[in-house]
Every structure is written in C-alpha cells, then in structure tokens.
Amino acid sequence: MTTARRRMGRAGGRQLAPGVTRRHGRVPPVQDEAFFRYLVAGMRNGVLAFTRDGRLALINDEAYRIFDLTPRHDDLGRPLAELLPSHPEVVRMLNNVFDLHLLPNRAELRLRPSGKVIGYTLGLVRDDSGRVIGASMYFKDLTRVEQLEERERLRDRLAAVGEMAAAIAHEVKNPLAGIEVMAGLLRRKIAALPDAQALLTDIISEAKMANAIVQEVLEFVRPIRLQVEHTAVRDAVQSAVHLTDTKARRGDIAVDVRVPEGLPLIQADRYQLTQLFTNLLTNAYEAMDGRGRITVLASSVSIDDGGEPRAAVLVEVADEGPGMSPDLAERVFKPFFTTKPQGSGLGLAIVRKIVDAHDGSIDLQTAPGRGTTIRVTLPVTALHEEQ
C-alpha cells in the first residue's frame, strides 16, 4: 500500500472501511465487517463471488432463492460445481470468466431446469495491487419481466392474426347462414321424401356446427377487454356449473363444488371468469363420457412474484376421466389442437387467454388412467393495478 493510500485510509488513527470516504473534512464512523454482510444479505439482487480457484467466497439469500438452493453452513469454500450441480451452464460461464477480455454486462441467461430467466453482470475482484483474486456475479430474476414481454409479443401477433381471421370469419358466416336457411326451406317443400329430408337435416346440422366453430374462432382472436370489478370466484364457478349443463351432456357426472364463501374478492371480469370455468367443465364432461365425479376446489394462496408475495386465489378442477399422456398434455393449450372427432380445439386456448388477461397462471396435472387436474391461479389484484 502506498504512503498516500495509507494516509487516505487513516484519520485520527482509525482505519476507514473499504469504500468509505471523507466528505467535507469529516470521517464517518468506522463500520465493521458485519455491516457489509448485512448490506449484501439485504440486496434485492442475487450476489455471488468466488476465488480464482473456483471456490465460493460470498452468496446472499436472493441468490439462494433464484438458484433454488438450500443454504448450508459449509457453503463458503465449496467449489462452484458442488454448489450448483443443477446449473452446469452457470458453472461453465463462471469458470471461464478469468479468460475473457470483455465481461458480460446486463446479459441474460435461462436457467435449467427451472426455466427462470436471469439478467446478470460479471466483474473481477482485485486486491490493492490490482491483482485479480476472484470474480463476482450480480443477477436478478427476470422471469416475470420475460413473461410479460412474451405476453405482449403474443398479443401483437394475435392482434394481427385476429384482424385477418375476423375478416375471413365474417365472410364465411354469411354463406353458412344462407346454406342453413335454404336447406330449411327445401326440407319443408319436399316433406314427402324421407331420404332427402335426412340429407337436408344433415346439411343443416353441419352448417350449424361450422357456424359454431366460426363463432369460437372469432371469440378466440377478438382482444379481451376486461370489465374489471370486485368479483367472487364462488359466484363465477356456480354460474359456470349452471351454464355448462346447458351446453354439454352431463349424464350421471357428479359435480362437487368446494369453494368457501370467505375467499377474498379478486379484481376480475366475472363474465370472462364464468366462461373460463365453463370451458374447463365442458372439457371435463366430454372427457368423462357421462359418469364419474368432478371436484372444483378453491383456496386462498400466496404467490411469489419475483421475491414479493402476492395474494391470490387457486381454483382446481379435477376430473376422473381417462387422463392424458405427457405428449398430449404439453399441447392441450395450443390453439386448434383437439383429440375429439368434432370440435375446434379452442376451448383451452381461450381459457389460457382469459387467465393471461387476468395476470394469472394455469398448469395441468394428468396421467393416463388417473384423471386430469387443471390449476388456475388468479391474483387478488392485477399487476398493472399495483404499479
């Protein structure tokens, strides 16, 4: 250490803490090592530092959370490969940091297997002589930001496709209506010909089905404009049960609704929520072929939104149907995908669209022969209303 640096580092015989400087001729009180530990521990970004030989020198709670790690008392000094066995891509990147001439700044990386997206900056740690003794990584969980950006990109794509699809659908609806009307007129005129009557009945039925598909396409591509109000999930579920009975064959299926009255009201569009649950129940009815039990269970939960908890309501719709293979389960929310001989394949795609519009999430648990459970999580307050 040079004489000048020693003079700058001492005042009245006391050593200044690293990074603490004099201002206006006064020296701040000396801070001990604990202060800097608390500072790093309380940061809302993940912090990880390691030595030249690849051993952990520092890590905070946010880094543990992002990497899904359980803290251990002997973590400091462990090789990075032992600390992060589930993230070899991160270990490789950190081990190569000392060979890079230009370190990444504000770069992004998707973690495996969690799927989280982090934004990170790498830096070198030097001693007083300028010798590199380690490196550091500062990072933040950008998963929520990435999801919001992807939603915006998806909305832009859907808006463009929607305009085209809406124009086509309107053009198709007119001739379909004409076919249905003319077939009906013709059927009345040839009442004495049973074979022709049967054919015309089939034509009318097919025209109605095609018209229903066109209507569903229009509903899917049309932007959702939420009429948000304080909404009780219980009311939306009960309305959906009654509406589903008018749209699908229930048979001997028992519907067990377990939605307590004490759930918090959520900021939502009640009509859209009713449609969401109606589509889920309709799918369950069709999968169960008129027998079995459907359970609708709701509860109050807390969701982790980038480290900040948010109140939410979880609704689970569980059926005793045949279930699905993993390959099918990955595709059920995609538009126009269906395993039914008839149908547009838009029911669950519309469900996901409504959930996204409410800033919620949806997932599915299923296995062949074990039924299907769809879990919908709806925040009590939408993210854009909190900001």
Q: Is 137 exposed, middle or buried (0-12, 13-18, 19+ CB in 10 A)?
A: buried
Q: Tens digits of per-residue pLDDT, 119-137?
A: 899 999 999 899 999 999 9
CATH of 227-387, one of 3.30.565.10, 3.40.50.970, 3.90.1150.10, 3.30.930.10: 3.30.565.10
Of 58 and 22, the structure prediction assigns the larger pLDDT to 58
Lowest mean pLDDT among 195-199, 211-215, 338-342: 338-342
pLDDT of residue 317: 94
Inter-axis angle of helices 270-288 and 347-357, to 10 degrees? Answer: 150
pTM exceeding 0.75:
no
pLDDT of residue 349: 83
C-alpha dihedral, 223 to 226 to 231 to 236, nearest 10°: -30
Alpha helices by DSSP H, listed for 96-232, are 143-189, 194-221
Average pLDDT over residues 341-360: 79
| Residue 176: pLDDT over 50 | yes
Q: Tens digits of per-residue pLDDT, 183-198?
A: 888 888 887 788 888 8
- Phi/psi at 151 (5° precision): -60, -40
- Residue position matching structure tokens 């521990």: 41
Contacts of the segment 197-204: beta carbons below 8 A, 24+ positions apart:
203/179, 204/180
Q: Is 278 exposed, middle or buried (0-12, 13-18, 19+ CB in 10 A)?
A: buried
Provide the mean pLDDT of the chain: 81
Look at the domain 144-223 and name its fold: Helix Hairpins (1.10.287)
pLDDT of residue 159: 66
| Residue 23: pLDDT over 60 | no
Q: Which two tokens stand for residue 145?
A: 């930001």
Q: Are 258 and 315 in contact (CB under 8 A)?
A: no
User: Does residue 303 sit in helix, strand or coil?
Assistant: strand
Fold match, 144-223 / 227-387:
no
pLDDT of residue 316: 95
Average pLDDT over residues 201-214: 81
- Residue position matching structure tokens 């939306």: 236
C-alpha dihedral, 259 to 244 to 285 to 238, nearest 10°: 10
pLDDT above 70 covers a percentage of the chain that reads 79
- Residue position matching structure tokens 């990955």: 330
Nearest to 371 by CA among 284, 250, 291, 270: 284
d(C-alpha 300, C-alpha 380), whole Å: 9
Average pLDDT over residues 7-11: 38
Nearest to 310 by CA among 266, 273, 274: 266
DSSP one-letter code for 33: H
In degrees, rounded to 5, the angle at the alpha carbon of residue 223 between the alpha carbons of residues 221 and 225 is 150
In DSSP terms, 141 is beta-bridged to 118
Residues sharing a CB contact under 8 Å with residue 173, sequence separation 6 or more, in sequence order:
211, 214
| Residue 22: pLDDT over 50 | no
Domain map (residue ranges) of the chain: 32-141, 144-223, 227-387
pLDDT of residue 114: 78
Inter-axis angle of helices 194-221 and 143-189, to 10 degrees? Answer: 160
pLDDT of residue 150: 65
Q: Which two tokens stand for residue 219?
A: 């509903």
For residue 113, say if its preceding peptide bond is cis, omega within 30 degrees of 0: yes
pLDDT of residue 383: 52
CATH of 32-141, one of 3.40.50.800, 3.40.50.720, 3.30.450.20, 3.40.50.1100: 3.30.450.20
Q: Tens digits of per-residue pLDDT, 266-286?
A: 999 999 999 999 999 998 998
At 233, the pLDDT band (50, 70, 90 cuts) reads: very high
DSSP one-letter code for 97: G
d(C-alpha 281, C-alpha 297), whole Å: 13
| Residue 33: pLDDT over 80 | no
